[in-house]
Structure 1
Amino acid sequence: MQLRKIRIRNFRNFADMTIEPFPTPAVVVGENGVGKSNLLHALRLVLDPDLSDRRRQLQPDDIHDGSAPLAEGTEVSVEVELSDFDTDPDAQSELDGAIVATGPLVARLTYLFRPRKSLGVVLGTAPARKLTPDDYNWTIFGANDPSNAMLSAKRYAALSVLPALRNAEDDLGRADRSPLTRLLRELPPAEDNVDRALAQMQAARDELSRDPNVRAVRRMLRERVKTMAGPQLDLVMSLAFAGRSEDLLRTVRLFVDPFGTRGVERTSTGAANVIYLALLLERLRLRRQAGDGEDTLLAVEEPEAHLHPSLQRHVFAHLLGEPNRLVLTTHSPHIAAVTPISSMVLLAESAGNTRARIVPPGLLTPEQTADLQRYLNVTRAEILFARYVILVEGAAENYLVPALAAAAGFDLDGHGVVVAGVDGTDFAPYAQLLGPNALDRPFVVLTDGDIATSDTAKRDRTKGVIVSAAEPGLWRAQGLLQIQDAEAYEYFADRLQGMAELELPDSGTRLGRDDLVVEASNAGVYVGRHTLEVDIAPLLADEMVTAFNELA
């Protein structure tokens, strides 16, 4: 089973947000405060069997700022759709009342929080009095009927959230919280081995109970209680050692050396978190293979906590390369760099509301996807967390653009601007990724003019047609306009074809070129005259000579 869609209305950051299709696995990225944790909490409202009913009863600050406040009557809903259970009869039976589509099967579960019907509140009109949380109730229903309560469905299609501020060492050291204990319950030792171990432990316990000091402790405790409470508290106490099979499993501890001397608390926090996550994933794998149902979706907040960058890349490249029901929220470009393009979910704020963007299936060609996956390294992965992006060709621009911005008194980092080099001139995959049909992030392109006089033709990869070799920078701009601005593209294409056929005059500028450069810049594509180094020489000639002499 997998999560295929989520829609959140009027909850915290989200006025009305839909993610469809919801990727599996999913990596949710975005700036601080944009709602990554709130997205997971919204999922918990529907799917987490361990979330208490009290926490499902929302409060005024849970309502989106742009909707009617709780006091005036509002409605919050979180709708999820589940699929991939066509061959699972247990899931079909459990979700029978929630199925909304067949071939393949799709089930819909919705958390709904609204005023009690007895109050007669009509949404959109002012109630007779200000409402309080006690005037609301919540339900989880199947399909499209709010009266079709399905509160138990969350125990089958369950969500388990591993919070960011977890204490893996403490949890591993406590049997009631340790995923090791739960894993051993899923895969318990053979009954004969358990019985034999318990018999040996019983003999050892009997021997210890006869020890003079143990008997002295028992006697002292009896006398102290009798003195304190008198005869009205008539207790007959004894000391013994637990001896059930469950107790035996709870005593198994995890060590990080082959001799059983160093407990998990003796390793690093990062290593403890990796061990903790591995135990959880193994238990979930066994539960999914069991015949009695339960198909848990695991969500992990900020898994990069306490992990060295190279370890982040290795661990999550492995996890995200496997087919699993995993949701991660992260600020780490190291994790983003190894995330498949199809798994990315970008949350971004717009006019006081958070919206979600994914890369729709089929938008990128296999070649573009491979290019992005290959070159979206740690540095370039920062574009997923940026407010604005400047795409440039390579190393020279990567150094010069930030330096020019600083000299002009503009703090790129302070404004969330990232300069990303594509190591070449093929901007099209990045423009598709950041463009309006995918992640929809503000970006501009800075590219060389590369004026050429050769009559030889070449194929324009962004259009798939033969174009002139003259003015390659403007031909690149045309391909990008086709992605970003259809209206500007038509105007640009008509004029560029004729202009590029002109001979290059002595002045070095073809008639009409400057107008096309301005037109491209209006669409966020800035085309130089030659190359950046040549174009910038008249502006910084003295500084460049000084720098060269110092370095030489």
Structure 2
Amino acid sequence: MHLATLRIENFRCFGSSGITIEFQAGMNVILGENNVGKTAIVDALRLLFSLGPGRRDVYVQPQDFYCAAGGEPAHEIRLDAIFEGLSNAEQGVFYELLVPGPPVSAQVHLRFRLETVGGQSRVRQTVWGGEVEGQPVPPAVWELVSHMYLGALRDAESDLRPQRGGRVGHLVKRVISDPVDRARVEAHVRQANRFILAEGGIQRTAEMINDHLSELAGNELRQSVRISLGAPAFERVADTLRLLLPQAGESEFVAVYDVESWKELRQRAGANANLLDRVSEDGDRVLIRLGHLGKPEQEKLGELYAELLDHVEPFGVDQNGMGYNNLIYMGVVLGDLVERRKAGLQNYSALLIEEPEAHIHPQLQVLVYDFLSRTSVIDDAGNQVQVFVTSHSPTLTSRASLDSLIVMHRAEGRVTATALRRCPLDENQKADLRRYLDVTRSQLLFSRAVVLVEGISEALLFPVLAKRAGYRFDHSAVEVVAVAGVSFAPFAALFNSDEPARRLHIPCALVTDDDRCAGELEPSKLRDAAELMAAGRVLAAGRQSDRSSKAAELEGGTLKVFRARKTLEVELGMFTDNLEPIAEAVEGCGHPTVARNLREQAATLDFDWGRAAAVWARLSGMKAAVAQRLAALLDEGTPVRTFVVPDYLSAAAKHVARRGSRS
């Protein structure tokens, strides 16, 4: 059983047209820029799951009702949830919520009405299940649904401290549920209290306090006190437990002995002394690392292992870094959910985490995603914790399964959410896209527009040329993605579907070459002006390549295709004003002879296609280096140079930045 669809209307940034989000079982990663509604979705989920047991920490307030600019707030918030994948047993448990299929589903509907009573605004909640409004949702049924929420501003250190209702104690109570096991823990505490009370210093301290109380309150009114480790009740004991960590810079616990005690320890270990061989000496101290001692080794050492633990000098979570405390916190919370599910206490469990990457470096973000993905499946039968994650991290995104990604955008006055598994990608394209979406390319999923180019030359130059054409890609949140070749199809499938639910709702420009006359001309053989003029005439009359025709067929949805005549270098070489900056760039790359030849040939050619052929021929083999140097020459901070931007690039820039800032 998993939440498959959530429909939201009139809640915060989602207006009357609403938004429908499709989820999968297991992991779901919700991506998007700031203020696009990711937290609103998470809070809608919290409102839904809070119908079950546990502390409710989110409520609908009057300010949560959608209000259009200059308008009145909406009067009703609607949340509609559809659960699918119900087993036969779950269909019996959630009978009151069922809707006949196929597929059979369980539906829950929440309505929040904004009313004014006595001049005061208040919110009235209504809940019903199934298809027929008014069908009640029995509390006993919803007790089988549970969730855990980790907010973006979570205070992991505070929540991990020993306290009543603390996370660690809560998990301990869940794990130790047998009364016999609990009684054993209580017996240990009672014994420890007896030893503590027998200490003379402890007794003297209690006597001192009682003497002062007698003076303050008198014998008749005073209260007597005694000092102990804590009440032996298991619930209280669990709440006082705290997490201990290795000392700073260490990845495992280390026991510290002086040299003589270390020798004595090895003698007592006898035949098991070899288990203690992993040591290092630090002055007069011997450091014994314990990480390699698994359960079999611990059992062999017996009481000696307990003694080793007594010689550990641990840190508390307050001495740990924020990033690792966040990891520990996630581990504790997920452990609680898993234990509940294994114990059969819930039929459905959800984990909601906002920005799991907070305070965590990139390599560790990858491991965090892998951990969450693996542990969402908790047994061989496929029982799952459904995980909902919001993120701004390209690193985490690059690791996530494409099927788990849900991308949010603001388009044409409304917010959209696209599940990438709905995009028309076949399995081969998914595999290709998975390989292509490294950390850098994953940034396209957070942008407001995308430009797809063939390689590094176009990626370096296009933002600078777009700026000269009047469009600032940086101000318009446009991401330029070099696909490192001509394999545009997997990327295009994210944008070009005619079905709105199967595409990203941001403009995309595919910028490529038409590669006319491919194989007909060899640039290294074009030497003098006559050869260049002849090559220019061939190019002018040339036919686009089959590869270019296939690229043009990718146009659709929000994607438009813009093609250069032959290549970018040919297009740039069409204009006489561009020749000197190009020659400067070639010279700056350490090729003065090539730059001189380019200047000389350009001066003798009066045919634009001939000049273009000259630039194409001379830049062969050095395109990327020249593009980088030319971008630096044309960008601000250098002397202003006249340079003409080809029409196809201007049109592409206009498509992706039409709603952005103009320079």
TM-score, normalised to structure 1, is 0.79
- 2:140 aligned with 1:155, yes or no? no
1:438 to 490, 503, 508: 503
Tell me which residue corresponds to 1:377. Answer: 438
Alignment of structure 1 residues 353-502 onto 2, 5 Å: 353-361=414-422, 363-408=424-469, 410-435=471-496, 436=500, 437-452=502-517, 470-472=544-546, 474-481=548-555, 483-484=556-557
Partner letter of residue 550 of structure 1?
G
Deviation at 1:296, TM superposition (A): 1.6
1:39 to 41, 59, 69: 41
Deviation at 1:537, TM superposition (A): 3.3
Tell me which residue corresponds to 1:517. Answer: none
Deviation at 1:203, TM superposition (A): 3.1
Deviation at 1:270, TM superposition (A): 1.3
Tell me which residue corresponds to 1:528. Answer: 564
Taking the aligned partners of 1:178 and 1:80, their CA distance within structure 2 comes to 31
3-state secondary structure, aligned to 2:338: helix
Contact 1:391 1:445 in 2 (8 A): yes
Alignment of structure 1 residues 7-156 onto 2, 5 Å: 7-15=7-15, 16-19=17-20, 21-24=22-25, 25-48=27-50, 49=52, 55-56=58-59, 58-66=60-68, 74-87=75-88, 89=89, 91-102=90-101, 104-114=103-113, 132-134=120-122, 136-150=123-137, 152=139, 153-156=141-144
Contact 2:84 2:106 in 1 (8 A): yes
3-state secondary structure, aligned to 2:22: coil
Taking the aligned partners of 2:448 and 2:30, their CA distance within structure 1 comes to 16
Taking the aligned partners of 2:326 and 2:475, their CA distance within structure 1 comes to 32
Unaligned runs of 5+ in 1: 117-126, 456-467, 486-522
Taking the aligned partners of 2:24 and 2:63, their CA distance within structure 1 comes to 29
3-state secondary structure, aligned to 1:480: coil
Query: Considering only CA atoms, is the larger Rg found in Structure 1 or Structure 2?
Result: 2
Deviation at 1:141, TM superposition (A): 1.9
Contact 1:5 1:18 in 2 (8 A): no
Contact 1:63 1:70 in 2 (8 A): no
Q: How many residues align?
A: 486
TM-score, normalised to structure 2, is 0.66
Tell me which residue corresponds to 2:386. Answer: 325
RMSD: 3.2
Partner letter of residue 239 of structure 1?
I
Partner letter of residue 9 of structure 1?
E
Tell me which residue corresponds to 1:458. Answer: none
Deviation at 1:304, TM superposition (A): 0.9
Contact 1:449 1:527 in 2 (8 A): yes
Taking the aligned partners of 1:229 and 1:133, their CA distance within structure 2 comes to 51
Show CA shifts across 1:83-113 (max 9, x none): 22314x3x44542211113554311112211
Partner letter of residue 517 of structure 2?
A
Taking the aligned partners of 2:91 and 2:226, their CA distance within structure 1 comes to 52
Alignment of structure 1 residues 161-310 onto 2, 5 Å: 161-176=149-164, 178-188=166-176, 195-196=183-184, 198-225=186-213, 228=216, 233=221, 235-240=223-228, 241-257=230-246, 258-259=253-254, 260=312, 261-310=314-363
Taking the aligned partners of 2:137 and 2:70, their CA distance within structure 1 comes to 27
Taking the aligned partners of 2:562 and 2:399, their CA distance within structure 1 comes to 30
Contact 2:176 2:182 in 1 (8 A): no
Taking the aligned partners of 2:493 and 2:211, their CA distance within structure 1 comes to 80
Report the more deviating stretch, 20-29 or 146-155: 146-155
Taking the aligned partners of 1:213 and 1:440, their CA distance within structure 2 comes to 72
Unaligned runs of 5+ in 2: 247-252, 255-311, 378-384, 521-541, 591-663
Contact 2:21 2:417 in 1 (8 A): no
Taking the aligned partners of 1:270 and 1:53, their CA distance within structure 2 comes to 27
**Percent identity between the two aligned chains:** 28
Partner letter of residue 84 of structure 1?
G
- 2:579 aligned with 1:547, yes or no? no
Tell me which residue corresponds to 2:6. Answer: 6
**Relative to 1, partners in 2 of residues 1:64 and 1:206: Cα closer, same or farther, differing over 3 Å?**
same
Show CA shifts across 1:127-154 (max 9, x none): 9x996433x4113221234433326244
Show CA shifts across 1:451-492 (max 9, x none): 03679xxxxxxxxxxxx98433640343113x438xxxxxxx
Tell me which residue corresponds to 2:288. Answer: none
Taking the aligned partners of 2:518 and 2:337, their CA distance within structure 1 comes to 64
Deviation at 1:353, TM superposition (A): 3.0
Partner letter of residue 85 of structure 1?
L
Deviation at 1:247, TM superposition (A): 3.6
**Relative to 1, partners in 2 of residues 1:231 and 1:364: Cα closer, same or farther, differing over 3 Å?**
same
Contact 2:365 2:396 in 1 (8 A): yes
Partner letter of residue 511 of structure 2?
L
Partner letter of residue 552 of structure 2?
Q
